[in-house]
Each structure stands twice: as structure tokens, then as C-alpha cells.
Amino acid sequence: MAERYQQTNPSDYRGYYYLAAAREHEEEQRPVAEALLRKAIGLNPDFAASHTLLGKLLVRDDRASEAVLDLERAVQLRPGYQPAHLYLGNAYRKLGRRADADREFQKLRELNDKEGAEPRLRYHRGSTTNSPQ
């Protein structure tokens, strides 16, 4: 489905992002996923999820120093985006930057605590509901 969307909407970053997300778990597809994410970022450099997923892939491939740039950009674009803080903390840890990693993991804990304390709007099977989680 993502592939068809990407083919029919080649100028829309979302098709490239979702196709990369579908392929990221297959090791032999990771280079393809990386290329798709770079295309998505080229089309929309302000979409934090693309930077985060690219950073996640780079960390997984032992390219943490490269990953930091995209993950820091993701945090800058969307400060409350928990996955960006998680993967940035992991990248810092792999680079031996303990204080930076601790800061990111602390921010992640704070975001998790805040999310648990505030009701949020959730999407469930075609309707929206308030959830106390």
C-alpha cells in the first residue's frame, strides 16, 4: 500500500517515510530504507519522524556519529517526540557521551511521566476518545 502511494504521489514525503518504515526491520532492506528516508527528508526536512527513523537505522548500523545529526534535528523539530529522545540517548551512549545520554534519558522519563499524568486524545477505530492514560 505504501509503495503504491509513493508511486502515485512521488512528491509527497509520506509515501517514502511509510515505505521505509515497512522495510526497516529487514536487514537486507535497510540500505533501501535509508535511501527512502533521505528522499523523504529532502521533500520535507521538517518532519521529525523521518529524521528519527533514519537516526534509528544509523545507530543500528553502528553509525552513531552520523545518527546524532538527524536525531538532534528531530528533537529540535519536535521536542516532545519520545522516540527521538530514546534513539538520541542510545546514539550518545554508543559514542561514550554519558552525560548527553543521561540528559536524553531523563527527558524521556519526564515526557513519559507527563504523558501518564495528562489525558490525551486517542484515535480508536474511526473515532476519537479521551483516554486517561
Q: Could you read off the pLDDT of 8-39 as tens digits, one per residue?
A: 878 899 999 999 999 999 989 999 999 999 99
Give the number of domains in the chain: 1
Give residue 62's region: left, alpha or beta (phi > 0; psi -120 to 50): left
Name the phi and psi angles at 124, rounded to 5: -135, 110
pLDDT tens digits along 81-102: 999 999 999 999 999 999 999 9
Q: What is the CATH number of the domain that holds 37?
A: 1.25.40.10
- Structure pTM? 0.82
Place of cell 544509523: 58
The residue with greater pLDDT, 14 or 130, is 14
Determine the 3-state secondary structure of 122 from DSSP. strand
Range of the domain at 17: 2-131
